[in-house]
């Protein structure tokens, strides 16, 4: 059972009424046509996220939510304040064990896939930081046996009447606020000076976040009487003149060391919603140890929550929206000239280098056109290891997978880096970033932001105007996700532009490989259109170009593509010869994905040639490799092929077993 929840808060008081109402609503829910929605709303700092997690755990303990708890922070999926619901659906489908290569390309198809996958689900879904009801509706499971818990700063009036239980959170009453302060502080001074303690509580306006900050302030100054601490806080309020929780955060900020204050001012300028210890080090320029100290100081001051640090392999952290806004205001008031620009440029170049390393480790050495970025002074690289230095195949595969996971976990930050670099006119960085995104997209296609990364890369290549290789590569990169999403006409426009730019290339090995790659992409688009004879001609032309370079791997890849195209046009003997040659070459090169796919293509040809035993052996090989790669798409189609093979030989029971397995895979991916 999957449970995507952070650790429970150490201190939490009150909210018993809201929890009881939530449980009673679930008990009384009788609909089987749509899920129950529990809507927690209120300003920042009231503890909505913590309460949502506690309610989810309570429901999981009391009711048979056999599919567990899924949790999504919608802030992590916003670009310039706009939510990409398709990307959220992709994340939810992945959490529901849908293989990345099975996620549907078109948004409408992805919605249907999600509804199919959740039609019989019994799960709790937590949607944190919603802004509008329209963001929530596409993410609702299709089962009335599920419960959705939504948090938002304001009420979501647009949700259909009766479909949501409104749990608006008021500030804590004084007694509950005092109890929380006593839990946080556990200090005799509160009892010794109850009037000052009540004044501190009233100063926090019933906001748990503010009480945590005030409590840490009290714990930090252990020798001062409470009245003096209160006076210092009040003086800070009088000077700043900010109401609500803002004055508490201002007071905490004023007590920070210079390094911690610098980091706090810079964090809202970090691209994307999340950051890590490594990227914060690059942003701040403080050095690893000083940055660690600064982050811990921010945590102690209540200006950062490190409890979520362990939830991702990359160790991602984030400033909640209100906190981010406060940090941004401090930056606007106090940042020195050039402070933010210098930090962002340093961070962008560091991220480009990390993405290039992850790209090479995940995909192996391949043709690239972007400039190679060196280390950033004083900032260590992310601890990814080079698969080429591994001692065995298992270690090599694990290192490659780790690099691919880094690209996936940091994808939203890389997308944001692309936007920032483009806005700053940093064309070299924009183009360089697009190539690791290409590697990421091959395994996880159909993310709408990927297309925008490639569009910006094309725009940067055109704006720069001095690098023909960029023009060819970026247009080819953009064309593929376009045709995968059904945008065939626009894909053709991009490829026409790439082909026109070939005349500007030189005669270097890299430029000749680029030219061959462009011809291959043109052939792939023709194949998508069903024009296999024309595609075959392009693949043959590309192979000849690779032979002239010479580029053995390029020759091998085009041989494989020619084999597939020959099979499509019915020339089975030629297809058999070409695919056999390609498969043998991929095995020698240890290209895992292409070994499995060439085995599948070759088996299909052998089956059509009446060589069933040989086909079965290759299908079984392909099945095993697809299983190791956890490729649901490949597994399902191999099971289908084995079912057809068994049916043709009268082995009906075995055929039905394979069909059942294929149906189960597609059902688990929401495709039935």
Q: Which class for 160: exposed (0-12), middle (13-18), buried (19 or more C-beta within 10 A)?
A: exposed
pLDDT-based confidence at 548, cuts 50/70/90?
very high
Q: Closest Cα to residue 651, out of 660, 640, 643, 662?
A: 643
pLDDT digits (tens, 9 = 90+) for 351-371: 999 999 999 998 888 889 999
Q: What is the pLDDT of residue 67?
A: 87
How large is the average pLDDT for residues 293-298?
Answer: 93
Residues 6+ apart with CB under 8 A from 371: 428, 432
pLDDT for 237 equals 44
As a whole number, the mean pLDDT across the chain is 89
The torsion angles phi and psi of 129, rounded to 5 degrees, stand at: 65, 45
- Dump strand ranges (E) for 54-118: 69-73, 78-79, 82-83
The mean pLDDT of 49-74, rounded to a whole number, is 90
Cα 334 to chain centroid, rounded: 33
140 pLDDT band, cuts 50/70/90, is very high
In the predicted model, is pLDDT for residue 205 greater than 90?
Answer: no
Q: What is the pLDDT of residue 125?
A: 95
Contacts of 189 (CB under 8 A, 6+ apart): 196, 197, 218, 225, 226
Model confidence at 592: pLDDT above 90: no
Q: Is the pLDDT of residue 227 over 90?
A: no
User: Per-residue DSSP letters for 429-490?
Assistant: HHHHHHHHHHHHHHHS---HHHHHHHHHHHHHHHHH-S-HHHHHHHHHHHHHHHHHTT-HHH
On the question of pLDDT at 671 being above 50, the answer is yes
Separation of alpha carbons 205 and 421, rounded Å:
41
SS3 222: coil
* 377-386 pLDDT tens trace: 999 999 999 9
The whole-number pLDDT of residue 313 equals 64
| DSSP SS3 for 150 | strand
Closest CA relative to residue 212, chosen from 249, 257, 256 = 249
Percent of the chain clearing pLDDT 90 (strictly above): 57
In contact, 93 and 72? CB cutoff 8 Å:
no
Each residue of 649-664: pLDDT tens digit?
Answer: 999 999 999 999 999 8
**Cα(474)–Cα(498) distance, integer angstroms:** 8
Burial of 387 (0-12, 13-18, 19+ CB in 10 A): buried
pLDDT of residue 338: 95
**Pure H helices in 549-571:** 552-568
pLDDT at site 494? 98
When pLDDT is cut at 50, 70 and 90, the band that residue 308 belongs to is low
pLDDT of residue 248: 73
**pLDDT (average), residues 23-35:** 83
Sequence-distant (≥ 6) Cβ neighbours of residue 584 within 8 angstroms: none
What average pLDDT does the segment 505-529 reach? 97
CA angle 225, 231, 234 (to 5 degrees): 145
């Amino acid at each position: 059972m999957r449970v995507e929840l952070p650790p429970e808060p150490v201190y939490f008081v009150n909210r018993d009424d809201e929890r009881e109402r939530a449980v009673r609503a679930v008990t009384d829910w009788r609909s089987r046509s749509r899920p129950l929605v529990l809507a927690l709303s209120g300003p920042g700092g009231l503890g909505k996220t913590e309460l949502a997690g506690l309610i989810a755990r309570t429901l999981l303990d009391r009711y048979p939510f056999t599919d567990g708890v899924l949790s999504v922070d919608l802030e992590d999926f916003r670009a310039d304040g706009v939510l990409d619901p398709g990307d959220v659906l992709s994340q939810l489908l992945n959490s529901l064990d849908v293989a990345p290569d099975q996620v549907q390309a078109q948004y409408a198809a992805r919605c249907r896939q999600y509804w199919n996958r959740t039609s019989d689900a019994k799960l709790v879904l937590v949607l944190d930081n919603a802004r509008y009801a329209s963001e929530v509706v596409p993410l609702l499971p299709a089962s009335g046996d599920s419960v959705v818990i939504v948090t938002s700063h304001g009420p979501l009036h647009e949700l259909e009447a009766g479909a949501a239980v409104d749990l608006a959170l008021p500030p804590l009453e004084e007694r509950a606020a005092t109890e929380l302060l006593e839990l946080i502080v556990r200090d005799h001074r509160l009892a010794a000076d109850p009037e000052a303690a009540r004044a501190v509580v009233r100063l926090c306006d019933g906001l748990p976040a503010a009480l945590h900050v005030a409590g840490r302030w009290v714990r930090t100054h252990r020798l001062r009487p409470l009245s003096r601490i209160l006076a210092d806080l009040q003086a800070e309020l009088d000077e700043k003149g900010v109401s609500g929780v803002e004055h508490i955060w201002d007071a905490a900020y004023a007590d920070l060391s210079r390094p911690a204050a610098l980091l706090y001012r810079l964090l809202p300028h970090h691209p994307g919603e999340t950051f890590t210890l490594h990227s914060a080090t690059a942003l701040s320029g403080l050095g690893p140890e000083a940055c660690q100290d600064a982050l811990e100081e921010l945590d102690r001051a209540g200006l950062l929550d490190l409890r979520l640090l362990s939830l991702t392999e990359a160790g991602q952290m984030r400033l909640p929206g209100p906190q981010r806004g406060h940090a941004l205001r401090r930056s606007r008031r106090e940042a020195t000239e050039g402070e933010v620009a210098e930090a962002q440029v340093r961070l962008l170049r560091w991220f480009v280098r990390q993405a290039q390393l992850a790209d090479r480790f995940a995909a192996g050495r391949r043709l690239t056109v972007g400039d190679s970025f060196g280390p950033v002074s004083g900032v260590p690289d992310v601890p990814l290891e080079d698969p080429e230095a591994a001692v065995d195949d298992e270690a090599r595969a694990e290192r490659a997978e780790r690099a691919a996971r880094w690209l996936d976990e940091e994808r939203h930050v890389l997308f944001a880096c692309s936007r920032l670099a483009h806005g700053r006119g940093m064309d070299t960085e924009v183009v360089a970033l697009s190539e690791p995104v290409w590697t990421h997209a091959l395994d996880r296609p159909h993310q709408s932001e990927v297309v925008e990364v490639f569009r910006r890369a094309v725009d940067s290549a055109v704006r720069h105007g001095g690098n023909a290789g960029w023009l060819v590569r970026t247009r080819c990169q953009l064309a593929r996700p376009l045709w995968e999403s059904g945008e065939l006409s626009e894909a053709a426009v991009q490829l026409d532009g790439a082909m026109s730019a070939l005349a500007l290339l030189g005669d270097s090995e890299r430029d000749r490989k680029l030219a061959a790659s462009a011809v291959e992409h043109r052939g792939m688009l023709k194949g998508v259109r069903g024009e296999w004879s024309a595609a075959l001609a392009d693949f043959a032309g590309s192979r000849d170009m690779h032979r002239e370079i010479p580029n053995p791997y390029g020759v091998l890849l085009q041989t494989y593509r020619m084999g597939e195209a020959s099979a499509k046009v019915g020339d089975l003997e030629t297809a058999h010869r070409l695919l056999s040659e390609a498969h043998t070459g991929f095995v020698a090169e240890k290209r895992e994905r292409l070994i499995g796919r060439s085995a599948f293509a070759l088996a299909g040809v052998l089956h059509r040639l009446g060589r069933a035993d040989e086909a079965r052996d290759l299908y079984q090989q392909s099945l095993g490799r697809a299983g190791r790669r956890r490729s649901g798409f490949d597994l399902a189609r191999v099971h289908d092929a084995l079912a057809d093979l068994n049916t043709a030989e009268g082995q009906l029971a075995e055929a039905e077993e394979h069909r059942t397995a294929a149906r189960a895979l597609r059902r688990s991916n929401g495709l039935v």
